Chains A and B, each alone.
Chain A
Amino acid sequence: MPQYETVIGLEAHVELKTRAKIFCDSTTEFGGAPNTHVCPVCLGLPGALPVVNKKVVEYAIRAALALNCKIAEFSKFDRKNYYYPDMPKNYQISQYDLPIAKHGCLEIDTANGVKKIGITRLHMEEDTGKLVHQGTITTTPFSLVDYNRAGVPLIEIVSEPDLRSPEEARQYMEKLRTVILYTGVSDCKMEEGSLRCDANISVRPVGTGGFGTKAEIKNLNSFKSLQRSLAFEAERQIKTLEAGGKIVQETRTWDEGKGETLSLRSKEYAHDYRYLPDPDLVPLLIDRQWVADIRNSLPEMPDQRRLRYVKEYGLPAYDAAILTNTKELADYFEECVKAYPHPKAISNWIMGDLNRLLNLHGIEITGCKVTPQNLASLLMLIGRGTISGKIAKTVFAEMFAGGKAAETIVKEKGLTQISDKRVIVAIVDEVLARNPGPVEDYKAGRERALGFLVGQVMKASQGKANPELANKLLREKL
């Protein structure tokens, strides 16, 4: 039996968060009562004409540059013709042979190091409306159409078939999301559909060239379903081949509940989209200076930023990767560093308590009540020995909940660390007097007893005693 390898290419759809739709002035806002974010143009009323929203072109170029694509000098829109009731015109305005950008790449971290995934093309198109069924599509007595989403700008990003496992596919999508989020052109919310994905997958015996017959998988609504569906599909294809069967070129859909892919339609029933250049839209001539301006306005991308964190701040690669995962978190980190130049201490707090509380409460870093300055002040209090690390955790929880400054909380609650030798000596004496057993143990050479005694000092001081000082004084007394 040959060993098989999996070949995967992904088509990602990203909704751009421009204020207005791609060809009219209707809002792109998500939700809203059905058919309220519409106008004659996005409803495809007779006689209405599309006019391209320049902001959409700018955002597409922005995303394309972040994905290392070449931007076309001459690009155009085409009509993709097929009938479906969620399409107001029964054609979708898209780009066929002259997309806005081509030949990009994205790097992902795999077990075998960094891998470069090719991006074939990036093009602009309009989103469709949404069908609303009662129950399921096959049993519903009628269907309703909501055109609020029709005409929302999308970019489609097509990868080369460079991905070799479901894990890589997932990593690619996660990285794509990170990069796009950095550019600020999309929210990339899979649950709201502003990031969607179709996958092409085939298998072939290891070491052979060429490609096996592929299947296209649709309806992948999360990173998890992407990876799971591909794992299922790869196994299905391999099993089919090993049983002497043949793979049919077809479109399959992922059934999350059943955990399997199901055939939707075979190649013979594939649409003939009858593309034609859209005569309502003039070709786009992309000004080089404009592209240069957009390139200059791009923020530092996650890969560069991560490398810089290792080099400039001396952070472990792991910390750097987590901190740069979103632009907002990285910006937050850097603001903290500006106020308190101890990157590793900051990184520890962000990756520890801060991330834990953010996840616990489902809050984004942008919604965090602890400002970078306040986090820096807290760390300064620890650094100066004003409060202990343990007290700091309590203070931080309160800062997170109410947004107060660390100093205020410490002052209000009287949490200042006790570093006065005389005060601590008094406590130490009392603890030694009350715990003759452990004292004996320590003297008999059992080091562990010291830990217990330090704990008793901390307890007696309500956690405020400087632990290092307590430790030192205890040793002296013993």
Chain B
Amino acid sequence: MQFTLRTAHEMHDQLIKKEISAEELNKTVFARIDAVDDQIGAYITRTRENALAQARAVDRQIRNGEKISPLSGIPIAIKDNICTDGIRTTAGSKILSNFIPPYSATVVKRLEAAGSTIAGKANLDEFAMGSSNENSAFLVTRNPWDTSRVPGGSSGGSAAAVAAGAAVCALGSDTGGSIRQPASFCGVVGMKPTYGAVSRYGLIAYASSLDQIGPFTRDVTDCALMLNAICGHDPLDSTSAKYQAVDYTGFLKDDVRGMKLGVPEEYMAEGIDPAVRGVVLKAMEKLESLGAVVEYTTLPHTEYALPTYYLIAQAEASSNLARYDGVRYGIRAKGSEDVIDMFMKTRSQGFGHEVKRRIMLGTYALSTGYYDAHYLKALKVRTLIKEDFDRAFKKYDLLLSPVSPTTAFRIGEKIDNPLQMYLSDICTISVNLAGIPGLSIPCGFAGGLPVGLQLMGRHFDEGTMFRAAYTFEQNTDYHKQFPEL
């Protein structure tokens, strides 16, 4: 097996046994990046020298007999909407193509404190708006399983890097499915933690009340290790919860006996590709065979989730993206008549089509005379959607569904049809509206392409999700299958 396709915990064992140095490990990963990234396009920026310097520091610790943390020396790809001190951070947008943050996101600081090395900045849809990475202003990322297909989005670069062995783990952000959907398309584990579990400080905002940073990994154990490293209260983020952090690896038990799993029928209805549905059903049967109780249930307001999401997310986005005006940072259009002209030219030239579409939609939803009918109504429906989940979780420990209605689609297939594109998030957006955690785990293949199973849990009950996902993983081998590149 390709060395760089090992998991972080396997690499950690090799590091502490001194079978490999952190520097060699990182050089190997960079060699892999050099070998495959021309085909994949996972990275906007590679930070080889930084990573090697960080790795050498880890080697010194090992030589000195110091205990290193589980992610020490492990190269991690950071989605390029997460700020990195001194390293260009573009959010996939031309408007930030020259932006070098003077500070790092809290998650980056925490990973660095844990000894991780930063492999580079991963491609994404511009400002995390998209489901295919085709909205990046810089490059198209390709799915390692079939390079004519998209890796999903918006964290497509992160997912593709982990799937291709061009990073061991990655960070993404998930506003409506932007971690889980690409994880599903690329056959890796991807998790959106509970809203408030991970600090958003330094995450370039798309929709603040929905955005959450989370990990991409090659197995569930690595996912728990990553969450351990990044979660917990941050005084710099008011919305980060003050809760007692736990060691999530403690939940990695091969046992789902008696666990009650609900399958919302709305998520298995028409619109789900029959092949995908078949693979997901088989995965559910697998969990049942391992002792879980699996039943159909209902989340009656599911049909309103998509419009609700698009109103709330776009309203917030229209305000969040107002700051990109060319005054303080980023590109500034030349030849402007006055300041208003400069704003308009800068934003016209700096933003791509999808971003403009969403800013306009959000601006409209918040305008006088439309606010009550659109934004306020959406907030009310959001509460109803949350209540659906509250009811379901009184009966079930977890809910199960497909992550996406289809497997990875072809590049260009949906780019001219935004509504079709939006529908690829239909199974994932309710989780963001409710603020609950969601996890995508590889559960089989349809037409040679990976399919993900989505696990949805109670607020701050990532532990139960880890236990179920770990059990599934221990009894299947989908996570041990890799794309040929």
Do A and B interact? Answer: yes
Q: A46-B89, A143-B339 are in contact. Are A90 and B239 (CB under 8 A)?
A: no
Q: Indicate if A339 sits at the interface (CB-CB under 8 A).
A: no
- Contact partners of B96 in chain A: CB under 8 A: 46
Interface centre among A49, A79, A83, A280 (most CB of B within 10 A): A49
Q: How far is the CB of B159 from chain A (nearest CB, A)?
A: 21
Q: Indicate if B368 sits at the interface (CB-CB under 8 A).
A: yes
The reply to whether A85 and B239 contact each other, CB–CB distance below 8 Å, is no
The reply to whether B375 and A46 contact each other, CB–CB distance below 8 Å, is no
How far, in whole Å, are A91 and B316 apart by their CA atoms in the complex? Answer: 12
The reply to whether A282 and B323 contact each other, CB–CB distance below 8 Å, is no
Q: Indicate if B119 sits at the interface (CB-CB under 8 A).
A: no
The reply to whether B201 and A279 contact each other, CB–CB distance below 8 Å, is no
Stretch at the interface among A37-45, A345-353, A407-415: A37-45
Look across to chain B and name the residue whose beta carbon is closest to the beta carbon of A24.
Answer: B236
Q: A81-B322, A83-B343 are in contact. Are A40 and B102 (CB under 8 A)?
A: yes
Q: How far is the CB of B70 from chain A (nearest CB, A)?
A: 27
Q: A40-B102, A81-B319, A85-B325 are in contact. Are A282 and B91 (CB under 8 A)?
A: no
The reply to whether A47 and B101 contact each other, CB–CB distance below 8 Å, is yes
Which B residues from 311 to 326 make CB contacts under 8 A with A? 315-316, 318-319, 322-325
Which A residues from 11 to 53 make CB contacts under 8 A with B? 40, 43-52
The reply to whether A274 and B363 contact each other, CB–CB distance below 8 Å, is yes
The reply to whether A88 and B315 contact each other, CB–CB distance below 8 Å, is no
Q: Specify which of B203, B238, B315, B325 is in contact with A51 (CB 8 Å cutoff).
A: B238
| Binary interface encoding of chain A residues 247-284 relative to chain B, with 1 for a CB under 8 A from any of its CBs, else 0 | 00000000000000000000000001011100111100
How far, in whole Å, are A47 and B101 apart by their CA atoms in the complex? Answer: 9
How far, in whole Å, are A245 and B177 apart by their CA atoms in the complex? Answer: 60
Q: Indicate if B340 sits at the interface (CB-CB under 8 A).
A: yes
The reply to whether A49 and B323 contact each other, CB–CB distance below 8 Å, is no
The reply to whether A145 and B105 contact each other, CB–CB distance below 8 Å, is no
Which B residues from 225 to 240 make CB contacts under 8 A with A? 235-239
The reply to whether B236 and A79 contact each other, CB–CB distance below 8 Å, is no
- Contact partners of B238 in chain A: CB under 8 A: 49-52, 280-282
Further contacts, 8 of them, CB under 8 A, given A51-B236, A274-B366, A280-B208? A44-B323, A46-B91, A46-B96, A47-B101, A51-B238, A85-B325, A88-B323, A279-B239
| Binary interface encoding of chain B residues 196-208 relative to chain A, with 1 for a CB under 8 A from any of its CBs, else 0 | 0000111111011
| Interface range on chain B (Cβ under 8 Å from partner) | 35 or more
The reply to whether B319 and A47 contact each other, CB–CB distance below 8 Å, is no
Interface centre among A46, A51, A281 (most CB of B within 10 A): A46
State how many residues of chain A have any CB contact under 8 Å with chain B.
Answer: 29
Q: Indicate if A89 sits at the interface (CB-CB under 8 A).
A: yes
Q: Indicate if B103 sits at the interface (CB-CB under 8 A).
A: yes
Interface centre among A43, A279, A282 (most CB of B within 10 A): A279
| Binary interface encoding of chain B residues 295-329 relative to chain A, with 1 for a CB under 8 A from any of its CBs, else 0 | 00000000000000000000110110011110111
Q: Indicate if B383 sits at the interface (CB-CB under 8 A).
A: no
The reply to whether A49 and B325 contact each other, CB–CB distance below 8 Å, is no
Look across to chain A and name the residue whose beta carbon is closest to the beta carbon of B342.
Answer: A85
Q: How far is the CB of B371 from chain A (nearest CB, A)?
A: 8
Q: A45-B101, A46-B89, A46-B99 are in contact. Are A276 and B366 (CB under 8 A)?
A: yes
Q: How far is the CB of A449 from chain B (nearest CB, A)?
A: 80
Look across to chain B and name the residue whose beta carbon is closest to the beta carbon of A35.
Answer: B328
Q: Indicate if B45 sits at the interface (CB-CB under 8 A).
A: no
The reply to whether B83 and A46 contact each other, CB–CB distance below 8 Å, is yes
The reply to whether B368 and A272 contact each other, CB–CB distance below 8 Å, is yes
- Contact partners of B368 in chain A: CB under 8 A: 272, 274
Interface centre among B322, B340, B368, B371 (most CB of A within 10 A): B322
Q: How far is the CB of B95 from chain A (nearest CB, A)?
A: 10
How far, in whole Å, are A98 and B86 apart by their CA atoms in the complex? Answer: 40
| Binary interface encoding of chain A residues 439-466 relative to chain B, with 1 for a CB under 8 A from any of its CBs, else 0 | 0000000000000000000000000000
How far, in whole Å, are A312 and B65 apart by their CA atoms in the complex? Answer: 78
- Contact partners of A279 in chain B: CB under 8 A: 207-209, 239, 316
How far, in whole Å, are A274 and B365 apart by their CA atoms in the complex? Answer: 9
Look across to chain A and name the residue whose beta carbon is closest to the beta carbon of B93.
Answer: A46
Q: Specify which of A47, A79, A81, A272 is in contact with B105 (CB 8 Å cutoff).
A: A47
Q: How far is the CB of B369 from chain A (nearest CB, A)?
A: 9
How far, in whole Å, are A81 and B319 apart by their CA atoms in the complex? Answer: 7
Q: How far is the CB of B242 from chain A (nearest CB, A)?
A: 11
Q: Specify which of A47, A89, A275 is in contact with B322 (CB 8 Å cutoff).
A: A89
The reply to whether B202 and A90 contact each other, CB–CB distance below 8 Å, is no
Which A residues from 54 to 91 make CB contacts under 8 A with B? 79, 81, 83, 85, 88-91
Q: Indicate if B367 sits at the interface (CB-CB under 8 A).
A: yes
Q: A272-B368, A280-B238 are in contact. Are A46 and B339 (CB under 8 A)?
A: no
The reply to whether B322 and A276 contact each other, CB–CB distance below 8 Å, is no
Can you list 25 residue pairs at the A/B interface with Cβ under 8 Å? A43-B328, A44-B323, A45-B83, A45-B103, A46-B89, A46-B91, A46-B101, A46-B323, A46-B324, A47-B83, A47-B200, A48-B103, A48-B201, A49-B201, A51-B238, A83-B325, A83-B343, A88-B328, A91-B319, A274-B366, A276-B315, A276-B319, A279-B208, A279-B239, A281-B238
- Contact partners of A44 in chain B: CB under 8 A: 323, 328
How far, in whole Å, are A274 and B376 apart by their CA atoms in the complex? Answer: 12
The reply to whether B323 and A89 contact each other, CB–CB distance below 8 Å, is yes
Q: How far is the CB of A281 from chain B (nearest CB, A)?
A: 5
Q: Specify which of A45, A52, A83 is in contact with B329 (CB 8 Å cutoff).
A: A45
- Contact partners of A272 in chain B: CB under 8 A: 367-368
- Contact partners of B343 in chain A: CB under 8 A: 83
- Contact partners of B318 in chain A: CB under 8 A: 81, 274
| Binary interface encoding of chain A residues 144-166 relative to chain B, with 1 for a CB under 8 A from any of its CBs, else 0 | 01000000000000000000000
Q: A46-B96, A50-B238, A272-B367 are in contact. Are A85 and B201 (CB under 8 A)?
A: no
How far, in whole Å, are A281 and B209 apart by their CA atoms in the complex? Answer: 10
The reply to whether A47 and B202 contact each other, CB–CB distance below 8 Å, is yes
How far, in whole Å, are A51 and B200 apart by their CA atoms in the complex? Answer: 12
The reply to whether B103 and A90 contact each other, CB–CB distance below 8 Å, is no
Look across to chain A and name the residue whose beta carbon is closest to the beta carbon of B364.
Answer: A274
